[in-house]
Amino acid sequence: MCGGGALVHSRFAPDPPIRAHRCLGPACTGPGRVLDSGPAMETDPLLTSLNDEQRRAVTTVDGALLVLAGAGSGKTRVITHRIAWLIASGKARPWQILAMTFTNKAAGEMKERIVRLLGESANDLWLGTFHSVGVRLLRQLAGYANLQPSFTIYDADDSLRATGRAMKALGLSDKLVPPKRVQHFIDRAKNRCLLPDDPRLAALPDARRDRLFIDAYKAYEDELRRANAVDFGDLLLRPVQALHAHKDVCAQLSQRFRYVLVDEFQDTNFAQFELLKLLTSAHGNLCVVGDDDQSIYSWRGAEVSNILGFPTQFAGAGVVKLERNYRSTATILAASTAVVQRNAGRHGKVLWTEAGAGDPIVVHVAGGDRDEAEWVAKRVAALRGKVGLDEIAVFYRANALSRVIEDALRASRLPYVVIGGFRFFERAEVKDALAWFRAVLCPDDTEGFLRAVQNPKRGVGDTTLEGLGDRARRDGISVPAAARRSLDDGTAGRSRAKLTEFFAVVDRLRVAAETDAAPVVGARILKASGLQQALEAEDTQEATDRVQNLQELLRALEEHAGTAEDRTLRGFLARTALVADTDQLGDGQGRVSMMTVHAAKGLEYDAVFVVGLEDGLLPHQNAIADEGRDGGLEEERRLFYVAMTRARRWLHLSYARQRRRFGGAPIETTPSRFLQDVPTDLCVLDDGWGPARPLARSTAWLRERTAQEEPSFARGAWGPAGRWGAPSRPPAAVSVPVRAGGVTRPLGIGLRAPDLHATDPDDGPADDAPAIQRGEAPSYQRGSRVRHAGFGLGQVVEVDDTGANLKLTVQFRLAGTKRLDARYVRPA
DNA sequence: GAGGGACCTCTATCT
DNA sequence: GAGGTCCCTC
């Protein structure tokens, strides 16, 4: 998308004027109020609501600081209060603070909260995603980065096409090497700040195998240069290069940003860390907040070593651990901790909570993917009475899983919103419109030109465009420039009239684009391009929907022109290139949210469903195949951990015994190996037929059923340790301290993964199977220790064998005293 | 050069 | 199940 712009002011914009201060929040202390760090700390409203660790993280402002923030530990609160503190204590003016996040949504939320604390002066902060900050820097640094100010940003799609063209130019068959792999290689190189001529490039895995990758990288860079385009990787790499090469500019910039803060630091890559080091080179005031247990982006170049090695990189860096969880019930916290503790490479935090045990985790084993989806819909409907739909979320490993859940929710008339998957800005008609915007604003944007000139069809075909591509390469210019040149020197051939007409329209629009407001220009382009007309002429329902999407695009443009910093059409294009799935999250829409686990990071809901817990999905097949390499499985486990820790009160885990892939026939699945890390006594099983029941008993029930129907199933379901094959590490005896009334005590004793005893139907009861599963009735007396799947450990206080069934009154450690059927407990 | 039908392959995850 | 690609016809 077209990024840069003619907005190149002085090298760095002068400090913005101080705006009138308008207090919006009770904790607002006004701009520039100087606090002495002594007694005021005790009483300052910014600090009183924080716990000791949070307060330390907020007030330790000079030098480097690493804040290790566990899930739900009030991380955002720390960042926002720290920014407010910096300003309130007079350490910095808003424009001297740079705060970076990973998604626009996180940035937006953060800004909102800071405005509440500080008032309107918060608008002068530099706050945004790494990539949007990259665009902003690059605009100001364009001259130092060999870019025209009107540069274009290629999205993943554009860059894949450019990769394909680069490969074609080299005579590289896309059958031999898929362009996607080359693109991935280039992306990794850029994440590590490696240019095509860097000898270290040869150390990357693919490069060693094949020199072609490096040649393709070179040709790809040439494609970008001629199109005056940058890709996502460049948004970080180019500023880094420019600042390395121009130390004076770097120093100037670093002095301007006196305090730099970073959220989700565990997911930064090499280039991002380089940028941070450069931006803080003058003062070293860098505060990073993250959680190594939530590092889930290594595949995108994130280096968890950034966070693990931070204290070494910044000698003398302070470290603050936030370990108190304010989000989830003790049960959810204990279960998720049991899962993540299986990982070896951790900083090691011990999360604790004062929250009560809450409800047990609900586990569901469905027959097929549709059954699983129907169960989710049923549970959602049941939860509706307790909680709003917008407090319920369904998470899955891959977008492909959303469809069947959507169908079930729709059938049950439950409103939902899918985050990601098919994005608005990826719809064909929207991309066509954006291509026209680009063709008008960015004269050398090759991808924009190629798409615009063929949509709507105007008789310029592949043969013509290929010829223009060759010429562009020969002359070292962009494809649209080559097209114009061919018109000038009369080599355009058969397409001459069509191309002439196309450029006439584009040029006319370009003149208007310089002067008129963005929404006006946008509407005019839709009209003059013929896009809208072509769709209207189709007169089908589908075409009508597409026209509506174009109207929606214009509405988005209007909104942009009313609110954004850069209100031009160019600014709009830059923004659409950088929108993420989670950014579209509407607030309080009264709808169930559906998204991938990756998209769920940083969010929280009262009720969470994690579906498709099967080997091959979570953990993903590729991670299983790579076992042992790069800790792929550990990252998958962290992904499961992230999913679980999004839940405040109700957590549901499910898998299907059979699942369809690619719309084909159902295939047998194996339950996720991570399920065996979830302590069974924190779970109940809901089979979808009656009330949820304790897991031990219901698994026996399942075993009976599946022994008849699916002999292969029982092998997978929560077998005793070892039945799955030896666990990678000895099962940890998990104990999550729960602080209640000032006393710390473990929640659940010896919660160990799996202590359920489903057995293979054909090899008889296991020796260590509890008596109930061997058909003997265990005997109980007062004082007997028993275990219940939902309530945990307890002690029998009364035995009643007068009725048909043995009844026990049990004093549970956490759940209190209960009277229940002896069949629901087993000796502990 | 456009358009339509048959066939294929494909899925992680995302700025 | 669906988008992309190939091939054929107009």
pLDDT in tens, A150-161: 899 998 888 888
- pLDDT at position A42 is 60
- pLDDT at position A179 is 84
- The 8-class DSSP code of residue A159 comes to H
Give the C-alpha separation, A755 to A294, whole Å.
27
> What is the spatial distance, in angstroms and rounded to an integer, between the CA atom of A198 and the C1' atom of C5?
36
Query: How high is the mean pLDDT in each 10-residue block of chain A (828 residues)?
Result: 34 36 35 40 78 94 94 93 92 94 81 86 87 90 88 88 85 77 88 89 66 87 92 94 94 95 94 95 95 90 88 90 95 94 84 92 92 94 92 93 90 87 75 90 91 84 84 91 90 82 92 85 90 78 79 85 79 79 57 90 94 92 71 90 96 93 84 91 79 55 36 31 28 38 29 27 30 45 69 69 63 61 67
Active site residue A76: yes
Q: Is A683 helix (H, G, I), strand (E, B) or coil?
A: strand
Model confidence, pTM: 0.77
Catalytic residue among A19, A56, A76, A606: A76
Going by their DSSP bridges, the two strands A693-694 and A683-685 should be labelled as antiparallel
The answer to whether some atom of strand B lies closer than 7 Å to the beta carbon of A129 is yes
Q: Are A308 and A295 a contacting pair, CB within 8 Å?
A: no
> What is the spatial distance, in angstroms and rounded to an integer, between the CA atom of A426 and the C1' atom of B13?
18
| End-to-end alpha carbon distance in chain A | 63
What is the four-CA torsion angle of A706, A709, A711, A716, rounded to 10 degrees? -40
- pLDDT at position A630 is 55
> What is the spatial distance, in angstroms and rounded to an integer, between the CA atom of A625 and the C1' atom of B12?
13
- Residues in A 457-476 whose C-beta is less than 7 A from nucleic strand B are 457-464
Strand C interface, protein residues by Cβ within 7 Å: A 662-664
The answer to whether some atom of strand B lies closer than 7 Å to the beta carbon of A667 is no
Q: Are A672 and A624 a contacting pair, CB within 8 Å?
A: no
- pLDDT at position A265 is 95
User: Within 13 A of A185's CA, how many CA atoms are on the CB side?
Assistant: 27
Give the C-alpha separation, A71 to A716, whole Å.
30
Phi-psi region of A612 (alpha: psi -120 to 50; beta: other; left: phi over 0): left
- pLDDT at position A5 is 32
Q: Are A8 and A140 a contacting pair, CB within 8 Å?
A: yes
- pLDDT at position A83 is 94
- The 8-class DSSP code of residue A548 comes to H
**β partners of residue A269:** A302
> What is the spatial distance, in angstroms and rounded to an integer, between the CA atom of A623 and the C1' atom of C5?
30
Amino acid at the residue A367: G
- pLDDT at position A29 is 36
Active site residue A294: yes
